[in-house]
Structure 1
Amino acid sequence: MTPEAFTEYLHKEIPLTAAMQARVLRSEAGFVEISAPLAPNKNVHGTAFAGSLSTLGLISGWVVLDRALHDAKLKAHLVAQKNECIFHAPATQELRAIARIPTDEWTRFTDALVSKGRARINVITEIRAGDTLAVTHTGTYAAKL
């Protein structure tokens, strides 16, 4: 799926992503980059709202896994099971989230998914505002064939 098609899909299926104006910029094997402008994601202090940052992290992990499952021709239901954010610094610019699938975890995950019909995997997403690392998000995702 192209980045534009993924963006359209997210906006349709998860309306919050449309309100956030989140856009998939790049989607490649094991990698995704998603952006969101600050304006619709601000809090009362003029910095990014923690809920928007958390959502951006969750969505990024889900997108990178959904793409990888599709590429591996594994039809699985994928859901977020756990969500954890470490807030390092206030985000005062456009948000950019980058998620990568850890290669060693991916092999374990797909092996378990094929042999047991279900599996879990952790994906770490870094969310930056300009050059500043604002958030490290760890998502645990569960998949079932």
Structure 2
Amino acid sequence: MITCRTPKTKKEFEQYYYLRWLILRSPWGKERGSELDNLEDQAIHRAIFDQKGNAIAVGRLHFTNENQAQIRYMAVADTAQGSGMGKCLLDSLEAEAQKRGATLIELNAREVALAFYLKSGYQNMGKAHLLYGDIQHYAMTKKLSVLLTHRSKQAKNLMDVWHKTIPLSKAMNINIGYYDGLELVTHCDPMFNKNLHNTMFAGSIYTLATLTGWGWVYLLLQNSHCHGDIVLAEGNIKYLAPINGVSCAKTEQLLVDGSTEHLVENGKAKMTISVNVYSGDTVAAKFIGKYVVINKEKNQC
């Protein structure tokens, strides 16, 4: 089975980088390592693996600011050329960019790839750099729609509540990139939330995670037509890696324990929600929050 996903093991990442080097660097006599840059740890990596587990197409996405991302290092193995692998890879990277709040994608395309990107909806903005004095690149951009799915009204209501009642959420510019009832993805302004080490401030990571969990409870109440005050009773976080670039926080139905089932009968409901905060593909922090919903009027649900 052919799959498009993030490489998981050391062996898969070795294949990923090797194919990048083989297609994009080796023909010009560049040594191994020239295919890497200093953004690998904050990037989103995708590869297509064939039935035997071999990488046949690779590509990378990284954010340049909260709402803008760049695609780089797109490469398809010679044996997979013309099979649609490049389009599959591009679609996967664009979808992840949308989930994390990107409204604009930019890339620098080699002249031989211009037709491919034009067909995929990118605009040619003119000549960019000349790589190795030989390979002409062209700057290309594509606008993306804000991806909130059919739940966009509830998500927008939540953002209004955050920004109107929690001043820090507005200062951090916490927003929702994606919500479909099963998954919630949030993001914030990377520049405002940096510390003296130029990484994301631990307090900002905690706040983003806390409000993501709080937001899940709020949206659950909205979808259940229930009312109640949401309180964080306990929050624990583990910081696993620094966040150097743009981060996002994610939670989903599988990471939630509890429901609003007893809210009417008892006037109170408890939920435990796990939230992962990401730097690119890397889980940089794990948060577990215990939330209590208090229904002051038991018949309002």
* TM, length-normalised to structure 2: 0.45
Tell me how many residue pairs correspond in the alignment: 143
Tell me by how many angstroms 1:28 deviates: 2.4
Q: Aligned residue for 1:7?
A: 159
Q: Aligned residue for 1:119?
A: 269
**2:230·2:294 contact (CA, 8 Å) conserved in 1?**
yes
Is structure 2 residue 228 aligned with structure 1 residue 76?
yes
Sort the Cα spacing of 1:70 and 1:4 in 2 relative to 1 into closer, same or farther, 3 A.
closer
Sort the Cα spacing of 1:91 and 1:105 in 2 relative to 1 into closer, same or farther, 3 A.
same
Q: Which amino acid aligns with 2:277?
A: I
Match of 1:22 among 162, 174, 187: 174
Is structure 2 residue 301 aligned with structure 1 residue 133?
no
CA distance in 1, matches of 2:181, 2:155: 12
RMSD, aligned CA: 1.8
When you count helix as a share of all residues, which structure comes out higher?
Answer: 1
**1:113·1:119 contact (CA, 8 Å) conserved in 2?**
yes
**1:37·1:93 contact (CA, 8 Å) conserved in 2?**
no
Q: Aligned residue for 1:86?
A: 238
Superimposed CA distance per residue, residues 16-71 of structure 1 (whole angstroms, 9 cap, x where no aligned partner): 01111211112221421101132111111111111000000110001111011111
**1:30·1:65 contact (CA, 8 Å) conserved in 2?**
no
Sort the Cα spacing of 1:116 and 1:125 in 2 relative to 1 into closer, same or farther, 3 A.
same
Sort the Cα spacing of 1:20 and 1:142 in 2 relative to 1 into closer, same or farther, 3 A.
same
**1:3·1:25 contact (CA, 8 Å) conserved in 2?**
no
Q: Which amino acid aligns with 2:290?
A: T
Sort the Cα spacing of 1:63 and 1:45 in 2 relative to 1 into closer, same or farther, 3 A.
same
Sort the Cα spacing of 1:103 and 1:54 in 2 relative to 1 into closer, same or farther, 3 A.
closer
CA distance in 2, matches of 1:69, 1:144: 11
Is structure 2 residue 211 aligned with structure 1 residue 59?
yes
**1:30·1:68 contact (CA, 8 Å) conserved in 2?**
no
Q: Which amino acid aligns with 2:238?
A: I
Q: Which amino acid aligns with 2:237?
A: C
**1:27·1:64 contact (CA, 8 Å) conserved in 2?**
no
Structure 2 unaligned blocks of 5 or more: 1-152, 296-301
Is structure 2 residue 292 aligned with structure 1 residue 142?
yes
CA distance in 1, matches of 2:293, 2:157: 22
Indicate the percent of aligned positions where both proteins have the same amino acid.
25
Is the partner of 1:41 in helix, strand or coil? coil
Q: Which amino acid aligns with 1:55?
A: T
CA distance in 2, matches of 1:144, 1:25: 28
Tell me by how many angstroms 1:97 deviates: 0.4
Q: Which amino acid aligns with 1:87?
A: Y
Structure 1 unaligned blocks of 5 or more: none
Higher relative contact order (CA 8 A, sep 6+): 1
* TM, length-normalised to structure 1: 0.89
Q: Aligned residue for 2:6?
A: none
Sort the Cα spacing of 1:59 and 1:142 in 2 relative to 1 into closer, same or farther, 3 A.
same
Sort the Cα spacing of 1:32 and 1:110 in 2 relative to 1 into closer, same or farther, 3 A.
same
